[in-house]
Each structure stands twice: as structure tokens, then as C-alpha cells.
Structure 1
Amino acid sequence: MPKAPAIFPLTFVLASLAMPLAAQDNPPSFGGYELKVLANADGVSVAQRDGREVLTVSRAAVMLADAEFAEGVIEFDISFADQFGFGGVNWHVSDDGQDSEYFYLRQHKSGEPDAGQYTPVRGGLTSWQIFTDANAIAPFAYTHEGWNRVRIVVAGDKADFYFNGSTAPVIHVPDLASDRGTGGIAFRSSGPGGRIDIANLAIRPLAPGEAIIGQPAAVETPPDGVIGSWAVSQPFDEALVLGQLALPRAVASLPQIATVAVESFGIADLSRAAAPDDGADTVLVSTRINASRARRVRLNFGYSDRVRLFLNGELVFEGDAGWRVRDHFFLGTVGFKDAVMLDLRQGENVLTAAVSETFGGWAFAGAIADREGLKVDAQ
């Protein structure tokens, strides 16, 4: 259970001066919790400001030590400048800070459709390019002149997000996708102007009668014929498939490490199987298609960030949909936006995507609407 917020003398903080944690012999606490820096100690400080205890997180991440949280309410005030940056709160955080649920605000996008967003984090990878429907994103309107109030109600695998006194949730998340169920609480900020101030933190159990009241938003359904699961290989270096017209035998023989089921919206979040790393930023995502006769079918698909698509070992498509690779405004969000014709032979066919990831979500999705005479199986 989380500690109750404590009132305590800040005798170890120099009279309202915000000192970075790296410069302090005894790192301060905040809201009654000791702080554990996850990234960039120089960007984390605590100070007294206008009668408030304020935690500043500037292009950094910091965890509240021993704030184990499963369900209940997380409330806090947040302020930030109108500049290009991102900041918010993680919960159900793993001890190493690599896995969590995450809610953040885009500091520079007040009132825009994607001003605030929920996403899971796995292996340090934030999957914001995958979780992009109305159950994850909303047009929060906030002030840059003072404080904004955030209240998050968590029960089971659901969450409601309230903002600046709203009586109804601004976002309802029907499925907290990290599936951790419990863990720590942290604050993080990123981006060139990523800096947030946090005050008036409260972490508490659900009060009597307090519950999830939000309902799932009406969202676009996946296309017909969505392939429901994909076999995922051991990660490898993208260089092994660069410029290849056929899938190299050494890559094709890599062991399978997982079968990943797609999310409710039809996209496979590959971070469920692995996390990209230097020299291991690519996986093979595959399924088997048994055809009663030779025929041509349409595959609608989406991916992030880069893909080489092979049918029976031969390259049929190559593309790059990474963040900003096409123009300054290109986000690289994932949907069933591309299509390719697959010339299936009678009997077994193997559809394989070599999917490479840099930033924002590691994903693949595919759908074959016309299944006449076909059997599709990831195994």
C-alpha cells in the first residue's frame, strides 16, 4: 500500500532553492516519498515555492521509492511552459523503470486532438504510435499560466482520467495494456522543452462509492479478416535484411521467441515479445497461409517503424513509416493503411515481415478479408 503523504520539515533543502539531486548528499523526498532517479539526476529537483513543495522534472525521470500502487487514486497539480515537450506520470512501474502505464501531456498542444495520451511502456519503449484511438487520446485544454489538476482513478485493468475539475472522465482506458497490475509511481518529461513541475501530490485508496465510471469510446473497428496472432522471432540487426530481395537463410532460421496476439484494435504490439536494442532492432513477424488452390489475395497492413515483407521468402514490399521520416508532420501512427497483392501457391505459404524499430512503437498488423479456401495460422 502507498504511504500516506507526510508533512515534514525540509531542513535538508536550502531555503527554497531547487538543487539538482546529483548535487545533494541526501536526496530530498517529495510528498513523503524518497526519490529514486531513473534518468538524468541533474534534471530533478525539489523546492519550496509559494508555499508549495514542488518537484521539477526536466528531461528526466524519477520514481517515488516504496510507493507501491495497484489501484486507487493518483492526484497532483502540474504546470509547464508552452514549448515543445512531453511530461506526465507513470504507474505500475517495474523496479528498473522499464515497464509501466504512462499518461502524459504534450505541453505545446493544448486543445488539439492529441493533447493528452495514454500508452503502455515495455522494455523502455513507449508505444504511443500504436495506442492512438479515443480510448487513449483526448483534446485536453490546459493553462500555461498556472497549475492544472490531474486525477487518475485506477481499478483493475481500467482507468479514468479527470482534468481541471471535470466531472466526467476526459479519457477512459478500458484495458491497461502493460498488464502489470501493480508497481511504483514515477514522473517523467522528454523532448527539447520537456520540463514539468508537480505539486499537491496525493496517492490514496478508492473512497467508498468511488469507482470507474467511464465507458469505452466508439472507435473504428479493424478491417475484416484481421490476422489475430503472429509468431515473433529472436531480435537481430536490421543490417541483415538491408537491400535483400529474398529473406536470408540465416535470418529465416532464427528461433521463435513468442506468439503475440493483437490488441483489441487489430495491431500486434511487438514490445510484448522483445525490446529493441543496438544491434538487435528487428524481428521477424510471421504466419502460415494454407491455400486450397493457387490464388491472389489482398493483404491490408500497417507497421512501425520499417518493414520488409516477404512471401515464401521473396520480397514483395519495403517501406519506412517512422516518425517524421516523410515530412515534419508525419507521426508514424499505425493503421491498416497499406495494401499489397499476395500471389499464393496451392498448399502452405509463409508470410514474413521483418519489422524494425527506432522510436514510438514496434508494431505490425495485417488483414486478409477474402478467406475463401484459406487457413491462416501463426504457428
Structure 2
Amino acid sequence: MLSLCFLVSFSQTSKTKIEMIAANWNVTEEATFEKFDNRETLLLKRGRITVKNQKFINGSIEVDVYANTVRSFAGITFRKNDNTMEEVYMRLHKTNQADAVQYTPIFNNESNWQLYREHQANVLFKNKGWNALRIEINNDQAEVFVNNEKVMTISNLRTDNTSGEIGLFALFSNRFSNFRITPKESSKESEKVRETPTDLNIIRQWKITEAKLFNRQRLNFKDFLKEKYITVTTEKSGLLPISKYIKKASSGNFEQNTEDYTIAFTNISSEKEETKLFSFDYSDTILVYLNGKIIFEGKNGFRTKGVQYMGHLDINTNTLYLPLKKGNNTIHCVVIDKANGWGLMAKLQ
């Protein structure tokens, strides 16, 4: 019995190399396995490819990526279940820039990097040879290493997935080699901390509709009142990652997506006529209605205000003074998105 326990423990902490041959992977038409630089490699043009018959909970995942100076993305996908997963990737053309490495949760096949500006890192990549990417995952936390230097700590992995498939992600072609996994037991030090709001003025719950293709000419406020809504809760910061809760009609194709929208609704009860400050941010586009009348329109998508404009969210970016009537007041936000993160956050004070 003691011998058996030892063997089980050893297998859970031993490093396994997944060879770059088609038999080990759930192959897509975008993947080519070939010899390069005296290595077995995978050339992935775009999309994701997963390891066959492999579920991952905690431990380390490592891969080498060949240097690339043209615009491209190369990374690791883990805890993948259907179209929701965690993802960390290198943007090799962004060497020595603030967003060279990014983490994003993928909700319903949609990337959300625009919503998580805190999970980006400035990294100087090698411009020749291989760059090593390693992720150490422990429950809801992760540490990211590039060429054996820690570049990012993720204190709260955003999906609710605790296990799932592992694999690789690429956009605009990248070459991978030497893929390794080391499963490990979880550490109790990484127990998930219950989130509590730091600002009591944050709107923590919204009611939202299903996603629909956006057509401005067909919007009619009277139709908003007939919609079916589900109640959803924001993150600690007040951020509502909309794709976590509803699936887009068009998804997974980045800027080639069509525009989808949802209606986010909340009630405000006031004991008297008064004015309150409504602070908010959103992605990509918004129409705000107070008591059925439109009071704000704005755009905050990636590159909408210049080539380098990221469209990150900050709850204090936009402010409106709301003239509230005595009794019940309603706010309806039509939030429209194409790609990179569908989000809303707001507070009232």
C-alpha cells in the first residue's frame, strides 16, 4: 500500500513532454507538424489546438515559441471546457511594450483582454531562436514566466473552470516546440477569497437580455419593457464581463464579428426628487436611457480613438448627473460589442 501511494504521488508531479506529432493532438486544418531547427514543431496559423485525452487541474505548462517580429500571438490555453477557458499569450511583435504578454479569460469563445488591463506585462523577447513560456497554476491563481523570468501574477483566474483541456493558441502564424506539463497537488495557500465590494456605491447586480445582432434603426424603448432578463452579478471592481453570461450571435472571429448588443437594466429608488452622480465605463459602444429617454451615447472600442487606443475600462471615466424623480427610476444601457471584451461597470452616488 505504501509503495502504491508513492507511485501515485510521483506520477502527479512528474514532467510529461507532449511530442509535436499529429497523433497527440486534436488536429485542425490550421495546424502543420514538421521538423524545424532540429526539433519536432507545430506551425499553427490561427485558432486553438488541444492535447488528446488530457485534463489539467493544477501544475505547470511550458512551451517554446520561435521568435517572430511580425504581428502575431502565441500562447497557452488551459482548463478549457467547450468554449470557455483561461489563456495566456505572448505578442512577440510587441517586445518591450506594456502589453507584450496578456492574460484573458475566454467566455463563450470571446477574448476579453480589453477588460483586464491589470493582466498585461512589459517583456523583452528574444528576436532570434526560441522564447520559453511557462505558467504555474494553483487553484484560482497563476504565475507567468518568459525565459525563466516571472513577468505576471494572476491573483484571480476569471472563469469558474477548475479543470479542463490544455493546448495552444495562435493568431497570424506561430511555431511551437517542446510542450511540457507537470501536474501538481494544489496548495491550500491559494484558497479562493470571497469577493466583497470595496466601494458600496458600485452597482453590483444588473438584469440583462440575451444577445442580439445590433441594428440601431430597430431599437425601440417600448420593446425593452417586453424583453426577458436574467440577473447577473459583477466582479469586485464592478466589472460585468457580459460574455460570461450570454453567448453572442457572432463570436470567435475578433474584428470580423458582427456587432451584438444586450440591454442591461437596473432600478433606482428615490425618496424625493434629487440629482445623483452616475459614473460608468463600457466596451465597445453604449446608449444610456434614464426613465425611457436617451441621455448618453459613446464609443470606447479598441482603436476607436486612435491606432494606439486600447479601450480599457475605468469606472470613473464617464460621469452623468441624473435628475431622479421621486419613486422608481430606471436605467437601461444598450451595450454593443464586436470583439476584445464586452463589458459594463457603474456606480451611483
2:229 aligned partner: 256
**Cα pair distance change 1:164/1:91, threshold 3 Å:** same
Identify which of 207, 223, 227 aligns with 1:231.
207
- Deviation of 1:265 (Å): 2.4
Number of corresponding residues:
325
TM-score of the two chains, using structure 2 as the length reference: 0.85
Percent identity over the alignment is 23
Which residue identity does 2:232 align to in structure 1?
A: V
Question: 1:160, 1:213 within 8 Å by CA — same for their partners in 2?
Answer: no
* Separation in structure 1 between the aligned mates of residue 16 and residue 312 of structure 2, nearest angstrom: 39
Q: Which runs of 5+ in 1 are unaligned?
A: 11-26, 215-220, 371-379
Structure 2 residues not aligned, in runs of 5+ = 1-10, 191-196, 251-257
SS class of match (2:114):
coil
Q: Check conservation: 1:299, 1:366, Cα contact below 8 A.
A: yes
Deviation of 1:275 after TM superposition, in Å, equals 2.1
Write the mapping of 1:113-132 to structure 2, written as runs, cut at 5 A. 113-132=98-117
Question: Secondary structure of 2:115's match?
Answer: coil
Amino acid in structure 1 at the alignment position of 2:26:
L
Displaced runs of 4 or more, over 3 A: 1-8, 210-214, 221-224, 241-244
- Pairing 1:172–2:153 present: yes
- Please state if 1:56 is matched with 2:43: yes
Matches of 2:125 and 2:247 in 1, distance apart?
34
Q: CA deviation at 1:213?
A: 8.9
The residue identity in structure 2 corresponding to 1:119 is T
- The aligned residue for residue 96 of structure 2 is 111
Go from structure 1 to structure 2 and tell me whether the alpha carbon gap of 1:174 and 1:160 turns closer, same or farther (over 3 Å shift). same
CA deviation after TM superposition for structure 1 residue 299, in Å: 0.7
The verdict on how the C-alpha distance between 1:113 and 1:280 changes in structure 2, with shifts beyond 3 A counting, is closer
- 1:348 is displaced (CA, Å) by 0.8
**How big is the shift at 1:287?**
1.1
Quick one: distance in 1 between partners of 2:130 and 2:189? 25
2:174 is aligned to 196
What amino acid sits opposite 1:176 in the alignment?
Answer: L
Map 1:34-45 → 2, pairs under 5 A: 34-37=25-28, 41=29, 43-45=30-32
Task: Identify, as 1 or 2, the structure richer in helix.
Answer: 2
CA distance in 2, matches of 1:7, 1:252: 54
Aligned counterparts of 1:148 and 1:65: Cα–Cα separation in 2: 24
Residues 228 and 50 of structure 1, relative CA distance in 2, 3 Å threshold: same
Deviation at 1:322, TM superposition (A): 1.4
Q: Which has the higher contact order (CA 8 A, sep 6+)?
A: 2
Match of 1:159 among 142, 154, 162: 142
Contact 1:303 1:365 in 2 (8 A): yes
State the shift of 1:54 in Å.
0.9
- 1:330 partner SS: coil
- When the two chains are superposed, the root-mean-square deviation of aligned CA atoms in Å is 2.7
Q: Report deviation, 1:243.
A: 8.3
**1:330-341 correspondence to structure 2 within 5 Å:** 330-336=309-315, 337-341=317-321
Q: Give the deviation of 1:353 after TM superposition.
A: 0.3
Q: Is the 8 A contact 1:160 1:212 kept in 2?
A: no
CA displacement at 1:59 relative to structure 2 = 2.3
Shift of 1:140: 1.6
Would you say the 8 A contact 1:91–1:101 is kept in 2?
A: yes
Post-superposition Cα deviations, 1:37-62, rounded to whole Å, max 9, x if no partner, equal: 2xxx1x31111223321111122321
Change (3 A) 1:6 1:366: closer
Trace 1:23-102 onto structure 2 (pairs within 5 A).
Answer: 28-29=22-23, 33-37=24-28, 41=29, 43-94=30-81, 96=82, 98-102=83-87
Deviation (angstroms), 1:75: 1.1
Q: Distance in 2 between matches of 1:7 and 1:178?
A: 25
Report deviation, 1:34.
Answer: 2.6
1:205 aligned residue: 183
Equivalent residue, structure 2, for 1:20: none
Look up the SS of the partner of 1:250 in the other structure. helix
Counterpart of 1:354 (choices 309, 331, 334) is 334
Contact 2:213 2:259 in 1 (8 A): yes
1:142 to 122, 125, 128: 125
Contact 2:62 2:179 (C-alpha < 8 Å) held by counterparts: yes
- Distance in 2 separating the partners of 1:293 and 1:161: 52
Counterpart residue identity of residue 240, structure 2: A
1:35-88 deviation digits (Å, cap 9, x = unpaired): 332xxx1x3111122332111112232111212111111011112311112221
Letter of the structure 1 residue corresponding to residue 148 of structure 2: G
Q: What amino acid sits opposite 1:309 in the alignment?
A: V
Residues 1:111 and 1:122: Cα distance change in structure 2 (over 3 Å): same
Partner Cα separation in structure 2 for residue 147 and residue 213 of structure 1: 33
Other-structure match for 1:316: 295
SS in 1 for 2:223: helix
8 Å CA contact retained: 1:155, 1:212: no
Of Structure 1 and Structure 2, which has the larger fraction of its residues in strand?
2
Per-residue CA deviation, residues 81-129 of structure 1 (Å, 9 max, x unaligned), is 11112221111112x4x21101011121111111101110011110111
Q: What is the one-letter code of the residue matched to 1:83?
A: V
CA distance in 2, matches of 1:107, 1:160: 19
